[in-house]
Amino acid sequence: MTPGGGSGPMKDCEYSQISTHSSSSPMESPHKKKKSVPKRKWEVFPGRNKFFCNGRIMMARQTGVFYLTLVLILVTSGLFFAFDCPYLSEKITPAIPAIGGILFFFVMGTLLRTSFSDPGVLPRATPDEAADLERQIGNTEDIANGSSSGGYRPPPRTKEVIINGQTVKLKYCFTCKIFRPPRASHCSLCDNCVERFDHHCPWVGNCVGKRNYRFFYMFILSLSFLTVFIFAFVITHVILRSQQTGFLNALKDSPASVLEAVVCFFSVWSIVGLSGFHTYLISSNQTTNEDIKGSWSNKRGKENYNPYSYGNIFTNCCAALCGPLSPSLIDRRGFIQPDTPQLAGPSNGITMYGATQSQSNMAAATPLLQSEPSITSEELPLPGKTSISGPCAALTLGQPTPPSSMPNLTSDSGLTDIIPLKEEHEGHQFLTPEEAPSPPGMLPSGSPITHSHTMHVLSLASQDSLHEDSVRGLVKLSSV
């Protein structure tokens, strides 16, 4: 209370309500942190990619041209189905809008499959793998430098493998820290090494590689058929109308047909040409990257023949379009495994094997489980000056005492005879007469232990042994 007589300090006190509905048990630590939600691998993906739908959709970062592709296909097809198909189905056949619908859905399906899938990205090396590989490369370069002149430049980081009798070089990627497998290349836009890299296509918003090449080829091939189909029937629509009302009146009656014809006319050439080029690549089992660089020749007789070609157009097409689809190597929807927690070792630096923390605590609390300290020259008991050693001083009164059959020591020189006995039984938990605890009440509180009191304890022990021997002798005589 303050001199003011009021409850001023009580007013300043604040009480916080303790929640009784806490889910934590009393044994849990109050400082325990909340478990963090594990992240998925796509959230920390090192490449320049965008992910949607919790990592299910993977695209390149530059997707503006992809949206332009979607708009052109959707708008052109929508105008065709809205303004041309009703007239054509009535005048010619209802199969026209049905066939157009099938082509449209096939084009959209293959486009989305190409754009939203993993093209075959190779995972980057872990820090340990990269360090080990750099160490191997460094040793190789040191050997090359040591065996040549001082101005020698180390060779490029490449390895050579033999594929169908043809030597293929594996180049080292300084970004991914790996030796790229055959036909793989690093995409500068996505910043990834892609297996069987063909090219980066901005129209689909993704790289084209081993895992989505077949869908890309089916997309451009079906888009070619759809473009030719729309362009042909738009012209047919305009011609049929012009026969009834004239050409100019036909254009005025269906202006959407004019827009469709213009879009299809300027795009059909590039789309059909691209489809033909990739048909050639598939038939020879090449990639766009290899064809541009001129890596291989289609003739087997030449030195740089294509080691990946089966020598048959049909077999090459089946291998590219009908072969098994390889799984993704990056596992973008997998969880990041946290580091395994390492148990902290004891404070003395000794590693404990097979012992739990509770066992070590029990050993620390029990004196008999501790190692007995060795006796040095400074700790040796001297005549007239006795002491109790450390481990035995911690014994409680309930501890067992040594056998009472001890020799009768009546002189100061007898105390020194105990030392060899102590050293002889150093590995055993026996107590010497000097280390034997006194019974309760024998020593007053706070009084020092004197030499005469020690001799008195030893004499009592010898008298007990003599009494026990005499009793045994009387028992033997009575039995006789």
**Domain presence at residue 244:** yes
**Domain presence at residue 349:** no
Query: Are residues 243 and 313 both part of a single domain?
Result: yes
pLDDT at 411: 42
What strands, in cross-sheet order, belong to the sheet with 158-163? Answer: 158-163, 166-173, 178-179
Instruction: Read off the DSSP letter of residue 148.
Output: S
**Domain presence at residue 366:** no
**Domain presence at residue 171:** yes
pLDDT at 61: 92
Query: Are residues 271 and 314 both part of a single domain?
Result: yes
How much is the mean pLDDT over the chain?
A: 74
pLDDT at 244: 86
pLDDT at 275: 97
Cα-Cα-Cα-Cα torsion 192, 196, 202, 206, nearest 10 degrees, comes to -60
Query: Are residues 197 and 218 both part of a single domain?
Result: yes
pLDDT at 37: 79
pLDDT at 404: 44
Tens-digit pLDDT profile for residues 409-422: 444 444 444 444 44
**What's the pLDDT band for 469 if we cut at 50, 70, 90?**
low
Res 215 pLDDT > 80: yes
**Domain presence at residue 474:** no
pLDDT at 345: 38
Res 330 pLDDT > 60: yes
The H or E element that residue 106 is part of is helix 95-115
From 196-200, 352-356, 437-441, the region with the lowest mean pLDDT: 352-356
418: its two tokens: 């105990």
Which of 322, 341, 361 is a domain's end point? 322
**Integer Cα distance of 315 and 24 in angstroms:** 65
**Integer Cα distance of 87 and 94 in angstroms:** 10
Query: Are residues 159 and 76 both part of a single domain?
Result: no
Query: Are residues 175 and 58 both part of a single domain?
Result: no
Query: Are residues 160 and 210 both part of a single domain?
Result: no
**Domain presence at residue 272:** yes
Task: List all residues 6 or more positions away from 125 whose beta carbon is below 8 Å from its beta carbon.
Answer: 133, 176, 177, 178
**What's the pLDDT band for 349 if we cut at 50, 70, 90?**
very low
Res 468 pLDDT > 80: no
Res 341 pLDDT > 50: no
Query: Are residues 163 and 104 both part of a single domain?
Result: no
**Domain presence at residue 456:** no
pLDDT at 336: 86
Query: Are residues 269 and 159 both part of a single domain?
Result: no
Candidates 173, 176, 201, 207; catalytic one: 201
Q: What share of the chain is helix, strand, coil (3-state, %, to 5)?
A: 45, 10, 45
**What's the pLDDT band for 204 if we cut at 50, 70, 90?**
very high
Average pLDDT score over residue span 309-324: 92
Count how many Cα atoms sit within 13 Å of the Cα of residue 12 in the half-sphere of its side chain: 5
pLDDT at 137: 79
138: its two tokens: 């460094």
Query: Are residues 80 and 166 both part of a single domain?
Result: no
User: Beta 166-173 vs 178-179: how paired, if at all?
Assistant: antiparallel
The residue type found at 303 is E
Query: Are residues 80 and 215 both part of a single domain?
Result: yes
Query: Are residues 85 and 216 both part of a single domain?
Result: yes
Q: Decide if 318 is catalytic.
A: no
**Domain presence at residue 117:** yes
The more confidently predicted of residues 190 and 434 is 190
Domain containing residue 94: 50-122+186-322
pLDDT at 455: 52
Number of domains in the chain: 2
Tens-digit pLDDT profile for residues 251-309: 888 899 999 999 999 999 999 999 999 999 999 999 999 999 888 877 766 778 889 99
DSSP 350-402: PPP-S--HHHHHHHHH-GGGSPPPPP-GGGSPBTTB----HHHHT--TTSPPP
Res 376 pLDDT > 50: no
Which of 292, 322, 352 is a domain's end point? 322
pLDDT at 386: 43
**What's the pLDDT band for 53 if we cut at 50, 70, 90?**
very high
Tens-digit pLDDT profile for residues 29-45: 545 555 677 888 899 99
pLDDT at 271: 96
pLDDT at 262: 94
Query: Are residues 132 and 265 both part of a single domain?
Result: no
Average pLDDT score over residue span 119-126: 94
pLDDT at 247: 86
Residue 124's φ and ψ, nearest 5 degrees, are -80, 160
Tens-digit pLDDT profile for residues 164-178: 888 899 999 999 999
**Integer Cα distance of 264 and 254 in angstroms:** 16
DSSP 163-204: ETTEEEEEEEETTTTEEPPTT-EEETTTTEEETT--EEETTT
pLDDT at 304: 80
pLDDT at 253: 86
